[in-house]
Structures are given as C-alpha cells and as structure tokens.
Amino acid sequence: MKLRVDVMLKEGVLDPQGKAIGHALGNLGFSGVGDVRVGKVIELDIAETDRAKAMETAKKMAENLLANLVIEDFKISTP
C-alpha cells in the first residue's frame, strides 16, 4: 500500500528556509507572496493490504523517525 507522509514545522516555529525562499521570490519579481513554509513529503510503499494497519505502521514510522515531534507535525494520506 502506498502512503504519503507530509511533515511541516509546527505553527510558531521559525522557518529560516521558508523566509529565504520568500525573500528570493520577491527579488525575482514575484510580488504578493506572503509567508512561505518549507516541509517534506515522504512516500512509502508498505507491504500491507489492510489500510488501518498500514496507517498505524506509517504513524509509528513518523513518530519514531520521519518527524521531529518537538518542532514538526505530520499528516498521513494515500496518494
């Protein structure tokens, strides 16, 4: 089963990479760009046919490795 894990910094956590991208977009003439946040997408292909079990496995993976729960949130979905 294919799953997608989206990891983003929590609200209130400074995102220097997002700020740099936002600044660069302005320098390139893209006006009207507000706050820019940068995250990561992890696509998993789990050898599980039961959706609930696959989601639980992906949740454990995210909690243990894929996301830093102190500063990041994650969301699991099917692509």
Give the class (CATH, top level) of 2-77: alpha beta
Tokens, residue 69: 């729960």
In which residue are the tokens 């936002």 written?
A: 22
What's the pTM value of the predicted model, to 2 decimals?
Answer: 0.90
DSSP 21-45: HHHHHHHTT-TT------EEEEEEE
Residue 47 three-state SS: coil
pLDDT digits 0-9 by tens, 38-62 = 999 999 999 999 999 999 999 999 9
CA dihedral angle for residue 53, residue 46, residue 10, residue 38, rounded to 10 degrees: -160
Q: Where are the domains of the chain?
A: 2-77
CA 26/CA 65 separation, integer angstroms: 34
